[in-house]
Amino acid sequence: MIAGMRALVLGAVGELPEIGEVAVPRSGKEEVLVRISAAGVNYADTMMRRGFYLQTPVFPFILGFEFSGEVVDVGPGAKRWRPGDRVMGTGQSAFAEYAVAPEAALMPVPSAFTDEQAAAFPVVYLTAFAMLKISANAQAGETVLVHAAGGGVGTAAIQLAKHLGLRVIATASSEEKLATARRLGADVTIDYSVADFVPPVLEATEGRGADIILESIGGDFLERDIRAAAPFGRVVVFGMASGTLQPADVGSMFRNSVSVAAFWMVTLAQRPERQAQLAGELLAIVEQAKITPVIGGVYPLEKGAEALLALESRRTIGKLLLKP
């Protein structure tokens, strides 16, 4: 058994993680040990570093919530995977050479995917798909407003929304990000750094508003989302990239009977049978529609702090990855 490995370790809130030598984790009941090929960097990692994530880890802590790699060991009761299997999935402490994950949280890597594409897939595509299918109950022909459309979840949501037959209005903070959104199929694009997005959303929908709004910016965006929503519109909040989140004004929600929901990937992980079902549907879509992740940069594990700061700058496009 391998004794030690390199990992990106966060010592305390507000610090930047550093490379350290730690013990290789052991696979427990119904768990799998994976040799990491690549790991995806998510806003959850930056939120945890800055101290406003929903979970506070016990420090020192290894960041990372998704990865691709090869199974090297299976724990008691784990039956689905065997050593040598190529997998991608969600878990914790993925910014390392090895990670342990529940076997139900893993998916087979599509044959057309590289290791990098596989590592960029699980969190953002499961998040986008679950929000559209579960939280918003999206129906073909509806209009979805996707904020931060150049980011990981945003680029995934555009592709999946188009596959589901939705009209997509995408917002972002630069022309480069909007160009990416259009390339992925967005029907209307809006630069929210230039002007308020509400008037152009209403104009693009002939005054009706968006049926579904995927909200991840925070600040006063939720208040404006409610004004941009159609009658019986659904706003799904899944992040606060700005670092703040103002509460919803229930009074303003009455005007169009707008509902506001929250989505957290951890909740889905607590229902492994539902996550497995969604994962199966996603893999089928990948085969049918040739959907692939947008990768904005690949960093060596030693440069993990740089990757986190780049994501926090909100200037990146698609997913950033770390390679051990």
Q: What is the pLDDT of residues 188-242, one digit of tens each?
A: 999 999 989 999 999 999 999 999 999 998 888 999 999 999 999 999 999 877 6
Rounded to whole angstroms, the Cα distance separating 104 from 191 reads 39
pLDDT score recorded for residue 1: 57
pLDDT score recorded for residue 68: 98
pLDDT 10s digits, 260-318: 999 999 999 999 899 999 999 999 999 888 799 999 999 999 999 999 999 999 889 99
Which part of the chain is CATH 3.40.50.720?
Answer: 124-264
Q: What does the block give as tokens for 58? A: 């016990």
Is 3.40.50.720 the CATH classification of the domain at 124-264? yes
* Range with lowest mean pLDDT among 133-137, 144-148, 225-229, 240-244: 240-244
* Range with lowest mean pLDDT among 81-85, 111-115, 153-157, 245-249: 245-249
CATH tag, 4-121+293-323: 3.90.180.10
pLDDT 10s digits, 32-45: 999 999 999 999 99
70 contacts 37 by C-beta, under 8 angstroms: yes
User: SS3 sequence, the chain?
Assistant: CCCEEEEEEECCCCCCCEEEEEECCCCCCCEEEEEEEEEEECHHHHHHHHCCCCCCCCCCEECCCEEEEEEEEECCCCCCCCCCCEEEEECCCCCECEEEEEHHHEEECCCCCCHHHHHCCHHHHHHHHHHHHHHCCCCCCCEEEECCCCEHHHHHHHHHHHHCCCEEEEEECCHHHHHHHHHHCCCEEEECCCCCCHHHHHHHCCCCCEEEEEECCCECHHHHHHHHEEEEEEEEECCCCCCCECCCCHHHHHCCCCEEEECCHHHHHCCHHHHHHHHHHHHHHHHHHCCCCCEEEEEEHHHHHHHHHHHHCCCCCEEEEEEC
Which part of the chain is CATH 3.90.180.10?
Answer: 4-121+293-323
